[in-house]
Structure formats: C-alpha cells, structure tokens
Amino acid sequence: MKEKWFEYVMTNKKLWTNGWTVKRLEKVKVAVLSDEDIMFDLLERHNGKTIDAETMKATDKEIYNHCISNFICNIHYKMMDLKLIAG
C-alpha cells in the first residue's frame, strides 16, 4: 500500500511543493518508502495500510488532510536530506 500512496503523490502535482519534479521524486522514493518512521506515521498512525488516499479523502477529509500533509512534509525533508532540493 505504501507504493500506492507514493504514486498518488507523484501523479497529483497539485500536492507538490517548490522544487519537486518527477525525477526528484523517483530519486527519493526508495529512501522514503524504506524510512520506518515515515511509513509508521502513514500506514499505522493514520491507517494508510488499509485505505488508499482517494478513499480516505472521500470518507474522512480531515484525517486525509492531516495524513497527506505529513507525508508531503516527510517527502520534502527527505529530498533536503539527500540534497535534491535546497533547504
């Protein structure tokens, strides 16, 4: 399910922040998906392991907004850690 969440972010450019590109997202993907803290927050804390982003958005907008914001921030910080974007 974590790959589905990442793909959701990759295909929804309205979620992107400054400096994001498809190439940069591809470069950071493995680091994000292998980060236990990021994945715990998304999959366990916010129940992303049993529900995809679109379904969560339709059924619980408040949790979706919180969850996707956390995920986007974590992706952004991981890009900065890897020097893919300036911090």
51 within 8 A of 14, measured Cβ to Cβ: no
**Tokens in use for 14?**
């309205």
pLDDT digits (tens, 9 = 90+) for 33-67: 999 999 999 999 999 999 999 999 999 999 999 99
38 belongs to a structural domain? yes
13 belongs to a structural domain? no
What confidence score (pLDDT) does residue 20 get? 97
What is the count of structural domains for the chain?
1
Instruction: Determine what percent of the chain is predicted with pLDDT higher than 70.
Output: 100
**Tokens in use for 1?**
């399910």
14 belongs to a structural domain? no
How far is CA 4 from its chain centroid?
10
77 belongs to a structural domain? yes
Helix residue spans in 1-87 (DSSP H): 2-11, 22-33, 36-39, 53-59, 61-81
> For residue 61, what are the domain limits?
2-8+21-81
Name the average pLDDT for the chain. Answer: 96
40 belongs to a structural domain? yes
